Amino acid sequence: MAALHITDIEAAINHWRALLPAGADFALATPTRALAEVYAVMVVQHVVEVDESALPQAALQAWLAWYDSTPDTPCIAICSTSQGDEECKGCGRSFAEVQHWTALRPAEKRQVWRRITLLGTAWRFNKYAERANKKTSG
């Protein structure tokens, strides 16, 4: 099974906090609480990843609902793997990841997203991101 990174758990918690804020009694909504419990255990145990199969069902469902709100693919429609590159210059995924993307589970896709985001070398993170920022700011 694939592991979920603590930053994804945090992002999911923040997603649910925005959607379902705590009430006057400061009680967290069910999805937020389920994810917060996982997050707390991770912090106490000093771990940055948790296997998706280890998540309680409520936390997994809350995480999957957050995941559904995120972009599915990092593709920017400039695929250099079709030109023979082993790693796509456009999105940063490997040839195998591009070919099998639809078969990957959500946790596996998030692992790929995390890796390519941390590397930040794909065009989606520099050349085209810069152009998009210029269009929105100018």
| Whether 104 and 135 share a structural domain | yes
Residue with tokens 């929105």: 136
Rounded mean pLDDT of 12-24?
Answer: 95
Total tally of structural domains belonging to the chain: 2
| Whether 78 and 65 share a structural domain | no
pLDDT for the residue numbered 82: 83
What confidence tens digit (pLDDT) does each residue in 54-65 have? 999 999 999 999
| Whether 83 and 133 share a structural domain | yes
| Whether 8 and 62 share a structural domain | yes
| Whether 62 and 82 share a structural domain | no
pTM of the model: 0.85
pLDDT for the residue numbered 40: 98
| Whether 85 and 50 share a structural domain | no
Where is the domain boundary, 70, 89, 124?
A: 70
What confidence tens digit (pLDDT) does each residue in 79-135 have? 898 888 999 999 999 999 999 999 999 999 999 999 999 999 999 988 665 655 665
| Whether 15 and 47 share a structural domain | yes
**Contacts of 65 by beta carbon, 8 Å cutoff, 6+ apart:** 31
Task: Provide the sign of the torsion angle of the four alpha carbons 27, 40, 114, 64, taken in this order.
Answer: negative
| Whether 23 and 43 share a structural domain | yes
pLDDT for the residue numbered 24: 86
Percent of the chain at pLDDT above 90?
78
Task: Provide the sign of the torsion angle of the four alpha carbons 62, 63, 65, 69, taken in this order.
Answer: positive
| Whether 60 and 94 share a structural domain | no
Range of the domain at 18: 1-70
pLDDT for the residue numbered 126: 85
The answer to whether the beta carbons of residues 79 and 88 sit under 8 Å apart is: yes
